[in-house]
A and B are shown apart, each in its own frame.
Chain A
């Protein structure tokens, strides 16, 4: 098992407490991204990206030319008004950037579509609130099957392109919610399994040093095998046709996500269509020299 990537604040002491790891640093504002990226470099670790957890809409952020080289994951509450965004679009398209918006706000489903259609890579963060599954299905269909080229909207493009009818698919890593791939540290170095658990201060270890073999660490192992419990409990999710790509992600969260089965069934169908298109494109290629 590869060592999980570490998501943590850009504290120099914390960064120097481990070496040769792939690191993502969290900052509260775009202005701190460059310094945070530099600190990772100085610590002897590898930077995957800087996660900007902004309270301001995307359109209100002040992107600068010198941030182009930094891989960015910008988490914003909304897109803001297009008229403000329009002035920065040329610059944004030249960035190594993915924009994350909460998927449980109806306006963000529109915002994701707008951004994608003008060439900005995006991701809908799912699972933090009650979802409008029908609107999400519309967005998913647009993301995967729309006729005009546009930037990817995750997690839909990820799911469609990696869907395998014979295997389960874990896609929480798209928004850093997969303990096999990402572990989250707070400022004191305490380790949580997901962004939500970090916010709730539900830690599994006091430092990353306590987890030399992640695959053998009980809390991580338990989490990675948690899906089995659905079958042991005979949970409705276990017999849901959408299970293969949902894995119970929306089970029993009390957020009124009853429409999830319909959504994931549609997602499966769209993924199959996407695969068929790719296969047909291969089949209909003319001879190659």
Chain B
């Protein structure tokens, strides 16, 4: 899968934003061009890829967002748009006019919803999000980024039922961004996060909503009961850190937002998605050779060796490299220094 950043602009300022570093490093008006979109579509099609995610910044701020979505659908991709849902009235009208005839199985909006109490938004922003969900609810599913331990999920179930959204929730852990002060959870707190998600089991089951875990959840933080419950909803569960390819408007390719400054390349340096995956694999191997996982117990862990678990997100490993004295492999230290990531 590939994530395409349509723009580096965003109209929100979330306390946990892991894209802030990447966005602030780009020109404010950085927009993906049609030529580059077609190049990416060709590149992915030639690589046998069938799904594309559109990100930002806030992707719906791109003036051609609707056209890009329709174009990618026309190219036979399934399209996922990661949005905050706070669309202007005119942009929402475009969505209503041109996207409400699309089969919801081919187009999904993952709407990043914040807890209205813990991370409040302005009244106007909330109204915009509600108007978006009123129109695009059947094409949308909620996404929620967990950056504090006392999080709640009730408002997600409320939104799903109220707006007829897809019955799935994407739950993401907020990871540290090396060199940045963003809200994130410590590794030692992850078992409490899992317990809290599991405490909403009754609501998930009663409303027939399936929980989806984003990257960086370590397998060892779940007990068998929790794993069994997740398995009933989602089948095979991934505890990996195998990223989608992030492609920015300037055609840079990187592992993920927190690692956006580490071994960044241009898409034009590759001939296929397999080559990019190989490049990412080398990054992973290089870093994992130094620190296998985020916990001490990861070293020698059977599940890590059998690749059932990635030992937490690679971003946390990089964060340790940044915070510690320069004792790692020279290639790593050189890359950190080159990108001003050294402590």
Could you tell me which A residues sit within 8 Å of B by CB distance? 81-83, 86, 89, 110, 113-114, 117-118, 138, 142, 146-148
Contact = CB atoms under 8 A, between A and B. Distances in A.
A86 B35 CA distance: 18
Given A117-B42, A146-B42, A148-B45, A82 B35 contact: no
Interface stretch (B6-14, B70-78, B195-203): B70-78
A110 B34 contact: yes
A118 B74 CA distance: 7
Interface in B62-99: 64, 66-67, 70-71, 74-75, 94, 97-98
Contacts of A146: 42
A89 B74 contact: yes
6 contacts: A82-B64, A114-B38, A117-B42, A117-B75, A118-B71, A148-B45
B46 interface: yes
A229 B75 CA distance: 48
A114 B71 contact: yes
B309 interface: no
Contacts of A81: 67
B41 interface: yes
A113 B35 contact: yes
A77 B45 CA distance: 30
A235 B306 CA distance: 72
Given A110-B34, A110-B35, A114-B34, A86 B74 contact: yes
Contacts of B45: 148
Contacts of A148: 42, 45-46
B42 A147 contact: yes
A34 B71 CA distance: 30
Contacts of A89: 74
A86 B34 CA distance: 15
Contact of A117 (B41, B43, B67): B41
Given A138-B35, A147-B42, A147-B46, A83 B67 contact: yes
A262 to B, nearest CB: 19
Contacts of A82: 64, 67, 70-71
Given A83-B98, A148-B45, A113 B38 contact: yes
Contacts of B35: 110, 113, 138
Contacts of A110: 33-35
Contacts of B67: 81-83, 86
Contacts of B38: 113-114, 117, 142
Contacts of A113: 34-35, 38
